[in-house]
Structure 1
């Protein structure tokens, strides 16, 4: 007999690039990922949650103004009448008037008057000022996302920094998990709650990674615009930031504060080119002074970014015009940054996708802290105080936002909406001193459900919801009822099972 020929050794499996990262580096990055996430967790969670809701800002504005006149278009005469009426009703000290023209997305004629006391008005097809122009809750949720209701410059800067922190957390999370792409569809369901949540956290992070990077990067850019402009001003124009802004928006005409009749927009309308574009926005500056001016923005079809803009002096002479077709790639990116960040392009389907992906990003922020807390419990070092505080944050914020909707609808006041949100948020944090985390989570779900249903009921009772001709108002109300029921029914079913031992045993 001859000895068997030994089998050749199997070739080693080829490792992917992520698998080659040294273990020490992975541990260091994981510690940094955890520290970064914990340091900014509450703000990341709040900004992601409010941003997901703010995707539907136009729909919520229509919902709040459900009883207002719906317009498909507004004639120059109607716009002029509404313009003069808004200035007359806006009180003293009018500096600017912003006019939003009707579109399919927002079929209203809306005028915002920047005066000693800022006011907002809606008008009908004849230009007559109509009631129901307040959109307190829409203003609340958009400002909560954009600047956290802090002074605009500092709040926007803080939100921009949170965008940077979120982007850094996403990148460090990828580097801290070398197998994250290989295990993109690996879910350990039905076992350890911590492992299950960790898998879902990692899978959501990978599946929607392009969206997460897009949102964090664009949010950081929008929030840090003031800093970016300041740096460019120092680098290029000896600190003159106005010259930087002049690269993108027309410079205002020479200031002339002498009193004058209200600016007449109709001759300016007549000079707009008839090239298939749609006038969507008019910005007027010092409309009751000799130095008054108006900027007309005309959207061109099939362009997401950029608009044609025409700036007029009081005598209707054009002193500046910019056409989107002449934009370079950088100008198109800048012009479309806001729409890209909020999903305000492509219609309702895009908004729904943004909303779902935004909620996924919100879950990432919440589950990251949950995983850290569960890991501490498994190691015998629980942090019950932090668990209670985090449960109060995770459920106190949606409950506070729902309370703000009720207050905004009932009182038609943005400060009232802010007050309701703060009160509920602080109430949950105060309850975290005594109540366990599980109890806080249960109370939070019930409170959020009840307040969401209350928002729909308040709209039906006070905002003409039952008589609204706008289908969007009905869609929003039905969505609120469905969301409230989805949160409330599992709690009711659980309580019924506890009360019925036979059902619980089954």
Structure 2
């Protein structure tokens, strides 16, 4: 009987460890893809470099875009968006959420938007590519967990100031994993906490809306949304077409500092259609203010994201704070560095736990496979997206599954890390080579130079890991058995 109990608890412990690893894997994927997704707009341009780029779309072109769109799409039940060019994405596109085209500067339709790999990247970060808001809630819960980990880790580190610049190297590698984990956690603490809290907000906002509507709005979700974002205006019936030129002219008079970033026709092709123009402010963190105009271009009102209740302004500032969409490329580079530090904290945290166990089993092999298999899968999926449209998800999953299966069969932590890093280095070279061959005439465009330079930087970083991490930081099976260093 005792033997059966011992076996049962041993199995339960293994299941618990496996669950802990699964959560860590999801956290790692979110942190890594979030770091890379800082350049998501540049990646969109990189994927389709042949699209014409410009800084301004005239009002007449917006009218042409609407006409061209409805020649291709019969349905007009959904709001129609015209996303205007910006510094980060100097090209326009039109979309009803289902059909989407890039626009030429005269408003004619160019190629269909086909940023499939960028979509894969952003969806992995936002909802782990799980549909029906389930993934979004999971990511939100992980954000809450990350917030709790950051706060608890802060209080658990009693020598936070004394050890702020202590970084010990050498030995088996466990101590430097601990120091690296603790130092990066402390140095980038404000950033990590902001990212965790805002990420949690994105994920759990749906649950909060459900709870709030049940408690305070008798289940009327639209009433809550109207209170937060403002309700729809009352429009008198008319038969006018949308006058973009007059609306933009009036916007300039109402808010001369506002820069339009997109326009949306609400209730299109009806006698109560109206126009919303979202405009950003260079000195504000809010994503935008939304100004409303009737079809003739007459100003109706604005939603109060820039001057309404503080809570509304705060909610509409979360996006820019979380994704670093403010301050230009200096802020983006800072977010990449800080995001990478959070990714390293995630990895070293699990490494410390694995090493402290004093044994090596399938969990060690699976963790190594995911740490290097995920960036490898992202790279092979990018190659696949360049060569074959809509193959990126299959390539990502296949690469990750093969890496995991091979690692579990290999059963040697150091060899797994070395091999997967070298495969990643090879894949990065192949990615640059493939892009250079397929898009040779666009290599000197700004987006291509930014992203290809970004890929080269990843190559250099991974090369450094190959030279150092595999030989110094990863404990092999013998070292693990001998390591008993305390995390404190």
* TM bin (shorter chain): 0.7 to 0.9
Once the two structures are TM-superposed, the CA of residue 478 in structure 1 deviates from its matched residue by 2.7
Match of 1:310 in 2: 291
Equivalent of 2:263 in 282, 296, 305: 282
Name the counterpart of 2:156. Answer: 176
Further displaced range: 181-190 or 84-93: 84-93
Decide whether the 8 Å contact of 2:307 with 2:313 is kept in 1.
no
Can you list the C-alpha shifts for 1:156-200, whole angstroms capped at 9, x where unaligned? 111000001111111222233322332111122122311111111
Provide the residue aligned with 1:391 in structure 2.
Answer: 368
| Contact 2:241–2:295 (8 Å) recurs in 1 | no
Q: Distance in 1 between matches of 2:157 and 2:357?
A: 19
Give the alignment of 1:135-154 within 5 angstroms. Answer: 135-154=115-134
In 1, are the aligned partners of 2:117 and 2:392 still within 8 Å (CA)? yes
Which residues of 2 match residues 26-175 of structure 1 at below 5 A? Answer: 38=21, 40-90=23-73, 92=75, 95-114=78-97, 118-131=98-111, 133-175=113-155
Instruction: List gaps (5 residues or longer) in structure 2.
Output: 1-16, 471-488
3-state DSSP of counterpart to 1:74: coil
Q: Deviations 1:246-281 (Å, cap 9, x if unpaired)? A: 12334346799x9x9975544433432432321111
- Whole-Å Cα distance in 2 between the matches of residues 194 and 348 of structure 1? 36
Q: Please identify, of 322-331 and 417-426, the stretch whose mean Cα deviation from structure 2 is larger.
A: 322-331
Partner residue, 1:191: 171
Q: Does 1:457 align with 2:457?
A: no
| TM-score normalised over the length of structure 1 | 0.82
> Deviations 1:345-373 (Å, cap 9, x if unpaired)?
11101111111111111111111111111
Using the TM superposition, give the Cα deviation of residue 39 of structure 1 relative to its aligned residue in structure 2, in angstroms.
6.0
Q: State whether structure 2 residue 398 is matched by structure 1 residue 428.
A: no
**1-side partners of 2:397 and 2:66: how far apart?**
36
* Partner secondary structure for residue 357 of structure 2: helix
User: Residues 42 and 450 of structure 2 are in contact (CA less than 8 Å); yes or no, is this contact kept in structure 1?
Assistant: no
Judge conservation of contact 2:37–2:122 (CA < 8 Å) in 1: yes
Structure 1 residues 214 and 269, CA gap change in structure 2 (3 angstroms): same
User: In the alignment, what sits opposite 1:442?
Assistant: 418
Which runs of no fewer than 5 residues in structure 1 stay unpaired? Answer: 1-33, 496-506
Q: Report whether the alignment pairs 1:218 with 2:218.
A: no
* Cα distance change, pair 346–406 in 1 and its aligned pair in 2 (3 A): same
Choose from 267, 270, 273 the match for 1:292.
273
Structure 1 CA distance, aligned partners of 2:432 and 2:66?
32
Alpha-carbon deviation of 1:470? 2.9
For 1:401 and 1:127, locate their aligned partners in 2 and report how far apart those are by CA, in whole Å.
34
C-alpha change, 1:119 and 1:325, in structure 2 (3 Å) is: closer
Residue 71 of structure 1 deviates from its aligned partner by 0.8
Specify whether residues 326 and 355 from structure 1 end up closer, same or farther in structure 2 by C-alpha distance, changes over 3 A only. same
SS at match of 1:69: coil
SS of the residue 2:408 aligns to:
coil
Paired positions, count:
451
Q: What CA RMSD, in Å, does the superposition of the two structures yield over aligned residues?
A: 2.9
- Post-superposition Cα deviations, 1:30-58, rounded to whole Å, max 9, x if no partner, equal xxxx9996562111111000110111111
CA distance in 2 between counterparts of 1:458 and 1:98 reads 34
TM-score, normalisation: structure 2: 0.84
2:380 is matched with which residue?
403
Q: Deviations over 1:393-440 (max 9, x none)?
A: 111111111122122222343xx2222111111111211221122222
**Distance in 2 of aligned mates of 1:163 and 1:493:** 31
Shift of 1:126: 1.0
Change in 2 beyond 3 A, CA 1:163/1:313: same
Q: Which has the larger radius of gyration?
A: 1
Q: 2: distance between equivalents of 1:486 and 1:365?
A: 17
Taking the aligned partners of 2:400 and 2:76, their CA distance within structure 1 comes to: 36
SS in 2 for 1:433: helix
In structure 1, distance between residues paired with 2:196 and 2:101: 34
> Displacement, 1:96?
2.7
- Quick check: 1:465–1:473 contact (8 Å CA) kept in 2? no
Closer, same or farther: CA 107–61 of 1 in aligned 2, 3 Å: same
Shift of 1:319: 4.6
Single out whichever of 277-286 and 53-62 deviates more from structure 2. Answer: 277-286
Local SS of the residue matching 1:178: coil
Query: In structure 1, what is the equivalent of residue 302 of structure 2?
Result: 321
In the alignment, what sits opposite 1:370?
351
